């Protein structure tokens, strides 16, 4: 993984961008398609064919929906073909074993489970591709008749395997014609290095602490050690995923695309509803547009609104993984959001901002425990350790050692997961834009050097959202 990251950073990217900038506009999309296929094949070459088939089916479905715009039956038929194909691929590769295992457990059967690796990023690009045909059916966009343009949309390598989920309407004009300005390239480089630094320098370091604690005897974890561990994971998953999103948006900007924002300082949210408006924004928008609103949203009374929210949050949890803990995780947040809509939100509005942030952060941390432990027994054991219900006591010498060793890493996590430092810098430099630009240049150079040094030296370089 580390060697692959270095090859990607210093071999693949320079060749792609050099080629992309040199070739005439007519061939830029071809460069992107080839790059996307190579990038996807880097991780799972066996599934390149599946990606191409998915592109072909959605492209043909789009043409069918557009051509037969006055024939409702045919339009619905082409939409069904697209949706069934995408959901079918996702269901077979991601959920077939889950359903078979549960059927066997419930009915005492012994159906053999199909074992196959999960294609990288399948949850992202199927949702992205499917949004095109749904929007086309709903007449929100115009059909893309040029196959290469459509293939470019699906195979854009920066966000192909881990988002953000870019809907066609977000970049439909840029797919056809885009201008690449020096300022965009400069800001894209800054955004990419910022994401790389978040992932490599912060997420990897704090993540190693979580791995260390998770490998301990969970039943004998002291309270403080258990909390330190899950706080480490809380920051790891944020800097890991938001770091990749920043890298994707930065690379897209350098290519002439403006991808939608995927994170907005979620750990400063003042309610769970607010948290989900800030965390994985593009996924939330997807479920809102294609599930919640079509079900009726909040327009059909309170009971129907609650049912719609339960469906959306069940699907949100299930989207993340084919295990019961993800379903519980989704419903956990769904129930809290329902309670906030019923009465809790009004109570929170009467409390100080600090308390609201603390309330939200506490519930999010508990949610990350549910998210991380696929084994439900270990999940409940860990939660019991967090609240002193196991045999580990309150604190021990190893816990103190870990806290002291990672104190500065936690301080960096807290600082860079909030906007306060950035706001302060902008406040004192609001009339001195040159200072900000100079800071960015220093950050780009320093961030790239430190990240590269870490990648060369480290053996621990996981990426949490590749499994989705």
Question: Which tens digit of pLDDT belongs to each residue from 146-158?
Answer: 999 999 999 888 8
Identify the pLDDT of residue 58.
93
Buried/exposed code over 305-329 (b: 16+ C-beta within 10 A; e: otherwise)? bbebbbebbebbbbbbbbbbbbbeb
Identify the pLDDT of residue 454.
81
pLDDT at 45 over 80: no
| Token pair of 261 as six digits | 């924002």
HSE, CB side, 13 Å, CA atoms: give it for residue 69: 10
Of these residues, 94, 167, 320, 440, which one is catalytic? 320
Rounded average pLDDT over 388-393:
87
Identify the pLDDT of residue 461.
60
Rounded average pLDDT over 120-142:
88
Rounded average pLDDT over 399-404:
92
Rounded average pLDDT over 82-98:
88
CA-closest candidate to residue 94, choices 157, 47, 152 = 47
pLDDT band at 234; cut points 50, 70, 90: very high
- What is d(CA 466, CA 118) in angstroms, rounded to the nearest whole number? 10
pLDDT band at 36; cut points 50, 70, 90: confident
Q: 32-41, 230-239, 317-326, 397-406 — which is least confidently predicted?
A: 32-41
pLDDT at 2 over 60: no
Each residue's pLDDT tens digit, 176-233: 888 888 889 989 999 999 999 999 999 999 999 999 999 999 999 999 999 999 999 9
pLDDT band at 434; cut points 50, 70, 90: low
Each residue's pLDDT tens digit, 269-289: 999 999 999 999 999 999 999
Question: What does the angle CA 199 – CA 201 – CA 202 come to, to the nearest 5 degrees?
Answer: 70
Identify the pLDDT of residue 203.
93
pLDDT band at 464; cut points 50, 70, 90: low
Identify the pLDDT of residue 316.
95
CA 457 to chain centroid: 27
CA-closest candidate to residue 243, choices 208, 213, 205 = 205
pLDDT at 44 over 80: no
Known catalytic residue: 320? yes
Identify the pLDDT of residue 431.
54
- What is d(CA 193, CA 247) in angstroms, rounded to the nearest whole number? 7
Identify the pLDDT of residue 69.
81
- DSSP-assigned states of every residue in 199-261: IIIIIHHHHHHHHHHHTS-GGG--HHHHHHHHHHHHHHHHHHHHHHHHHHHHHHHHHT--PPP
pLDDT at 430 over 80: no
Question: What does the angle CA 23 – CA 26 – CA 31 come to, to the nearest 5 degrees?
Answer: 55
Tell me 321's DSSP state. -
Identify the pLDDT of residue 465.
55
CA 2 to chain centroid: 21
Rounded average pLDDT over 368-396:
93
Place of tokens 């403006």: 258
Q: What are phi and psi of 167, to 5 degrees?
A: -80, 150
Tell me which of 106 and 232 has the higher pLDDT.
Answer: 232
* Rounded percentage of the chain residues whose pLDDT exceeds 90: 59
Rounded average pLDDT over 18-23:
92
Rounded to the nearest integer, the mean pLDDT of the chain is: 88
């Amino acid at each position: 993984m580390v060697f692959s990251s270095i090859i990607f950073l210093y071999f693949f990217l320079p060749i792609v961008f050099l080629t992309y900038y040199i070739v005439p506009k007519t061939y830029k999309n071809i460069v992107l398609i080839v790059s996307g296929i190579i990038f996807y094949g880097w991780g799972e070459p066996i599934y390149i064919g599946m990606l191409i088939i998915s592109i072909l089916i959605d492209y043909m479905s789009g043409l069918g929906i557009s051509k037969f715009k006055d024939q409702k039956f045919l339009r619905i038929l082409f939409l069904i073909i697209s949706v069934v194909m995408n959901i079918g691929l996702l269901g077979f590769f991601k959920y077939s074993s889950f359903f078979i295992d549960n059927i066997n457990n419930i009915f005492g059967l012994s159906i053999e489970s199909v074992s196959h690796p999960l294609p990288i990023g399948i949850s992202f690009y199927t949702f992205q591709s499917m949004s095109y045909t749904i929007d086309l059916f709903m007449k929100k966009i115009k059909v893309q008749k040029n196959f290469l343009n459509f293939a470019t949309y699906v195979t854009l390598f920066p966000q192909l395997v881990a988002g953000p989920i870019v809907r066609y309407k977000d970049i439909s004009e840029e797919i056809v014609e885009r201008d690449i300005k020096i300022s965009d390239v400069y800001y894209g480089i800054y955004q990419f290095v910022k994401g790389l630094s978040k992932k490599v320098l912060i997420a990897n370091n704090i993540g190693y602490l979580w791995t260390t604690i998770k490998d301990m005897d969970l039943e004998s974890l002291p309270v403080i050690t258990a909390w330190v561990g899950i706080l480490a994971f809380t920051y790891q998953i944020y800097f890991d995923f938001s770091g990749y999103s920043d890298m994707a948006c930065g690379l897209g900007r350098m290519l002439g695309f403006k991808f939608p924002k995927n994170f907005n300082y979620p750990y400063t949210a003042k309610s769970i509803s607010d948290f989900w408006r800030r965390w994985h924004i593009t996924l939330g928008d997807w479920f809102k547009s294609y599930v919640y609103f079509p079900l009726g949203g909040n327009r059909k009374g309170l009971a129907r609104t609650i049912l719609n929210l339960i469906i959306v949050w069940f699907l949100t949890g299930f989207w993340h993984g084919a295990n019961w803990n993800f379903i519980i995780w989704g419903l956990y947040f769904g129930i809290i959001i329902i309670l906030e809509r019923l009465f809790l939100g009004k109570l929170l509005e009467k409390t100080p901002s600090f308390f609201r942030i603390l309330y939200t952060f506490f519930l999010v941390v508990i949610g990350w425990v549910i998210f991380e432990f696929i084994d439900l027994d270990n999940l409940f054991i860990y939660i019991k350790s967090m609240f002193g219900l196991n045999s580990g006591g309150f604190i021990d010498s190893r816990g103190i050692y870990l806290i002291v060793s990672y104190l500065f890493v936690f301080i960096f996590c807290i600082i860079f997961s909030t906007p306060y430092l950035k706001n302060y810098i902008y406040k004192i430099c609001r009339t001195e834009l040159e200072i900000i630009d100079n800071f960015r240049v220093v950050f780009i150079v320093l961030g790239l050097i430190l990240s590269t040094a870490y990648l060369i030296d480290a053996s621990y370089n996981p990426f949490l959202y590749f499994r989705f």
